[in-house]
């Protein structure tokens, strides 16, 4: 159980730099973040909305209650990251640009997997 908690918190904690930092910077768009989202073919006004949604998803994942909302939060992050990966490929960017989103996706899957493993184990006191 202790090892499972460690793996869960490693994966979940690494979601903050992988997803959270960029989202926090996107809430108030800068010229650079606006350039990134527009080169992927999206309008600039979408950046604050997506950024706030990702921050809310991270908040829900870190709050110990609300299991149904956690499912939605994980699903939203997977949809966001896979959509970003598709956009990178569809706009002709290099495949090497997929490394960071792929790592973020692996962290989301790891966090989700260990979250479910933790809740399936009987509580031992």
Confidence at residue 84, expressed as pLDDT on a 0 to 100 scale:
94
pLDDT above 70 for 123: no
Number of residues that this document lists for the chain? 125
Q: Which two tokens stand for residue 94?
A: 């290099």
pLDDT above 60 for 2: yes
The secondary element (H helix, E strand) that includes residue 36 is helix 31-39
pLDDT above 90 for 96: yes
pLDDT above 50 for 50: yes
pLDDT above 50 for 125: no
pLDDT band, very low/low/confident/very high, at 101 (cuts 50, 70, 90) = very high
Q: Of all residues in the chain, what percent carry a pLDDT higher than 70?
A: 98
- Contact predicate 14/107, CB 8 Å: yes
Residue 27: C-alpha distances to residues 16, 93, 106 (Å): 15, 24, 24
Nearest to 32 by CA among 41, 44, 42: 44
Q: Which two tokens stand for residue 13?
A: 């904690």
Q: What is the largest CA-CA distance in the chain?
A: 54
Q: 119 versus 71: which is more confidently predicted?
A: 71
In the chain, what are the domain boundaries?
2-120
């Amino acid at each position: 159980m202790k090892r499972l908690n460690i793996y869960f918190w490693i994966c979940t904690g690494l979601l903050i730099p992988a997803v959270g930092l960029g989202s926090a910077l996107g809430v108030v768009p800068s010229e650079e973040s606006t350039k990134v989202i527009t080169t992927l073919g999206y309008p600039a006004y979408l950046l604050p909305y997506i950024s706030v949604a990702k921050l809310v998803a991270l908040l829900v994942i870190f709050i110990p209650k609300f299991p149904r909302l956690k499912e939605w939060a994980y699903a939203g992050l997977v949809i966001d990251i896979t959509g970003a990966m598709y956009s990178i490929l569809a706009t002709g960017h290099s495949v090497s640009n997929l490394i960071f989103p792929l790592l973020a996706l692996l962290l989301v899957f790891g966090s989700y997997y260990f979250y479910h493993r933790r809740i399936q184990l009987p509580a031992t006191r």
